[in-house]
A and B are shown apart, each in its own frame.
Chain A
Amino acid sequence: MLSIKNLHASIDDKAILKGLNLEMKAGEVHAIMGPNGSGKSTLASVLAGKEDYEVTEGEVLYHGKDMLDMAPEERAGEGLFLAFQYPVEIPGVSMVNFMRASLNSIREYRKQEPLSAGQFLKLMREKKEIVNLDDKLLKRAVNEGFSGGEKKRNEIFQMAMLEPSLVLMDETDSGLDIDALRIVSDAVNQFRSKDNAFLVITHYQRLLEYIVPDFVHVLSEGKIVRSGGKELALELEEKGYDWLKEGVGA
C-alpha cells in the first residue's frame, strides 16, 4: 500500500529525514517511536504534502502511484488522512459546513455523487457517536474553543467520516486523559480493517497498549534505526532511547 524508499526531506535547508525506508501493507498497524527531534512529525507532514518541507531525494509510492507528485488535496482524495498533533482553529467556519465541504470534495475526486444534506447529517449523527462527540461541538466553528481532548476526538471523528485507507496519527495521545485515550483507541480499533493501514506516531508506549501495532519502528536522526514487533515498544519504555543511539554508534 505504502512504500517509502530512501526518503530525504529538509526544511529551510536543514535536513530532517535522511534516508528513511518503510513498507506498509493493507491491514497493518505500524508504530513510529523516537525521541524528540528525530523527525517523527516531519514524516507525517511530508507524507501529507505540507509545503514547508522539501523532499530532496527518494520516492513514496501509494497504491503504486507517485505520491510526492500530488497536491495535499489529491493525497486526501486518494485516501490519506492525517490526524494532526495540533489541530488548528478556523473561526467562523462551522464543523458541519467544513465536514460537508471536505467529504463532498473527496467524493468529487473519486467521481462519486455529493451527499445530500439529509444523507450527510445522518452519516454525521452515526459517526459522532463513535467518538462520543458532543452535538454542541459540531455546531461550533472548527476546533474553536475545543479542549485539547475534544480536538483530538474531533480528528478521529473526521477520520471516521472520510473513511481513509491510510491514516497517519501524529501524537494523537498527547494531551489525552485516560478516558479520552480509551474512546479514541476504541474508535480506531473499530475502524481498523484488512483494507486500511495505520501509521501511529507516538512518543510513549502507552497508546500502543490500546492500539496494538503489528510493527514498531524506532526513528532516530531521520532514519529508522530499528524495527520489531510490539514488544519493541515495551523495551523502549523500559530503557529509554539513549541505548539505541549508542547501539547505532557501536
Chain B
Amino acid sequence: MTEDQLIKELGSEQKYEFGFVTEIESDQAPKGLNEDIIRLISSKKKEPAFMLEYRLKAYQHWLTLTEPDWAHVDYPPIDFQNIIYYSAPKSKPKLNSLDEVDPELLRTFEKLGIPLEEQKALAGVAVDAVVDSVSIKTTYKEKLAEKGVIFCSMSEALQDHPELVRKYLGTVVPYTDNYYAALNAAVFTDGSFVYIPKGVRCPMELSTYFRINEQNTGQFERTLIIAEEKSYVSYLEGCTAPIRDENQLHAAVVELIADEDAEIKYSTVQNWYPGDFKTGAGGIYNFVTKRGICKGRNAKISWTQVETGSAITWKYPSVILKGDNSRGEFFSVAVTNGMQQADTGTKMIHLGKNTTSLIISKGISAGHSNNSYRGLVRIGKGAENARNFSQCDSLLVGDQCGAHTFPYIEVGNSTAKVEHEATTSKIGEDQIFYCTQRGLDEETAVGLIVNGYAKEVLNQLPMEFAVEAQKLLSISLEGSVG
C-alpha cells in the first residue's frame, strides 16, 4: 500500500503528516542482538577502544536485567532479536558539504519542514539531522566553532573529542541505571553532542531532528550536553517516523551536565507515529531516559516537552540538584488520542542547599487513550531549605479515555517545603458550544481550548517552535470529538 492510500484510509480521523517513507538504499546490520553486532556497530563507527569496552560491559549487564513492568502501560513483549540495531543511509559518512548529502534525504527534510541548506534554515537555529542510526548533517558548525561551541553528532564527537565523551558519558545515566539505559549504552548509534565552554552564551538555538525511516530498525540515540561554568544553551529536539503496521522501538538516553551558574534549556517536540487511530496497530515505543545534573552552584536545568506522538511513551526527564541554589524545571504537555498510552513525568532529586524545583504537567487524554503522570520529588538529608512546587493537571476529552496521577514525595529534611496541586477536568461541552456559537467548528474549538489549557507550558518553548507545537496539539486531537 502506498503512503497516500494509507493516509486516505486513515481518513479525517487522524492526519499524521509525516508518515511517508524515503526510498533510499541503506547499509544495515543483520537483525538481532549479540556481542558481534555490538562490535560491528563500534567498528562501523571507527570508535576508540574504550567505547567498545563500555558497550560490551553494558550489554553484559543488560543480559542480567528483566524488562520493567511498573509503568501504567500495556503492550506485548518486545522481541529484541527481531530488531535491526544499525541502519545507515548509504553514501555516508563524513560530509564536508551539503552537495554530498543524498538529494533524496534533503528532500525528506525539506518535506518535514527542516531545510538543511543554511541559507534556507530558520535564522538562529542550528540543526543536526539524524536518520535511523546516523547523523547526516549538522548545520552552522563553523559559525558555532568561532565561539568555541562544539555541536556535532555523537559519532563525530567520538572521533574528534574522545576525551570529552569519555569524561562525561554515562556519568548522569550510568548503564546500570535501568533496562533501556543499559540497552542504549550497548547499541547506541548516534545522537548529538554539545559542549559550551566557560562563559559562553550559545549564540543560536541548537536543534536535532530525529527521523526513523527503515523498517524494523530501532533508534537508539545518545545525546550529551555539557555546559561549563556561566554558560547558556537552548536545545530542541523533534522527531517523526513513517506510518508502519509494526511497532518500532526508540530507546534514547540524554544526559545534561550544568556547571556553576550554567543554564541548559532542553525542549522536545515529540511526534513519532502514534499507531493506527482505531486499532492501535503500529507506532513507536518511546522508552527514553533523560536526566540532567546541576553540578555547580546556581546551575539551572529546564526540561520542556510537548509529547503528542508514539504508541507508548515511557519517559521521565529528571534533574539532580547537587549544587547549592540550583534549580530544576519541568514543563510538560502530553496528549494521547486513539489507542495511545503515555506514562510520563519527572524526578527532582534535591541534594544541595536552597535548591528549588518547579513541575508543571498538563496531560490531555482523548479517544481510548491512557495518560499517566508519574513524578518523584526527593529531598535529601542535606538539602536545607529545598523548595518544590508541582502542579499536575489532567484534561479529559470524551468519556472513553483515562487520566492518572502517581506523585511520589520523599522528604529527608524538615526545612523543606513541597507543594503538590492536582486537578482533573473534562473539556466542557459548554465551552465547545460557546466557541461553535461564535462560528468555530468543533475541532477548531477543541484545539483552541486545549492550547489555552497548555499555554503555560507552550510559552516555555523557543518562539520558532511554539507555533509549530500549537498546530501539532490541534492536529493530534482531530477526531476526538463528535
A229 contacts partner chain B, Cβ-Cβ < 8 Å: no
With beta carbons under 8 angstroms apart, the residue of A90, A98, A105 that contacts B441 is A105
With beta carbons under 8 angstroms apart, the residue of B433, B441, B454 that contacts A92 is B454
With beta carbons under 8 angstroms apart, the residue of A88, A90, A162 that contacts B439 is A162
Known A91-B453, A92-B454; contact A76-B436, beta-carbon cutoff 8 A: yes
Contacts of A141 in B (CB 8 A): 452
- Is A101 a contact partner of B444 (Cβ separation < 8 A)? yes
In angstroms, Cα B433 to Cα A161, docked, is: 19
- Is B439 a contact partner of A73 (Cβ separation < 8 A)? yes
- Is B434 a contact partner of A84 (Cβ separation < 8 A)? yes
- Count of B residues near A, CB < 8 Å? 23
In angstroms, Cα B442 to Cα A105, docked, is: 12
A213 contacts partner chain B, Cβ-Cβ < 8 Å: no
Chain B residues numbered 45-99 whose CB sits less than 8 Å from any CB in chain A:
none
Identify the stretch in B192-200, B229-237, B424-432 within 8 Å (CB) of chain A at 4 or more residues: B424-432
Q: Nearest chain A CB to B362's CB is how many angstroms away?
A: 10
Chain B residues numbered 121-153 whose CB sits less than 8 Å from any CB in chain A:
none
In angstroms, Cα B430 to Cα A162, docked, is: 20
Residue of B nearest to A109 (CB): B439
A102 contacts partner chain B, Cβ-Cβ < 8 Å: yes
Contacts of A134 in B (CB 8 A): none
- Is A49 a contact partner of B436 (Cβ separation < 8 A)? yes
Residue of A nearest to B454 (CB): A92
Q: Nearest chain A CB to B426's CB is how many angstroms away?
A: 13
Contacts of A181 in B (CB 8 A): none
With beta carbons under 8 angstroms apart, the residue of B431, B433, B435 that contacts A51 is B433
Known A51-B429, A72-B433, A90-B431; contact A102-B439, beta-carbon cutoff 8 A: yes
Residue of B nearest to A76 (CB): B439
A206 contacts partner chain B, Cβ-Cβ < 8 Å: no
Q: Residues of B with Cβ closer than 8 Å to A? A: 428-431, 433-442, 444, 448-449, 451-456
Q: Residues of A with Cβ closer than 8 Å to B? A: 48-52, 71-73, 75-77, 81-82, 84, 87-88, 90-93, 97-98, 101-103, 105-106, 109, 141, 158, 162
Given A50-B433, A90-B435, A158-B438, 10 additional A-B pairs, CB 8 A: A48-B433, A71-B436, A76-B437, A82-B437, A88-B431, A90-B448, A91-B453, A93-B448, A101-B444, A105-B439
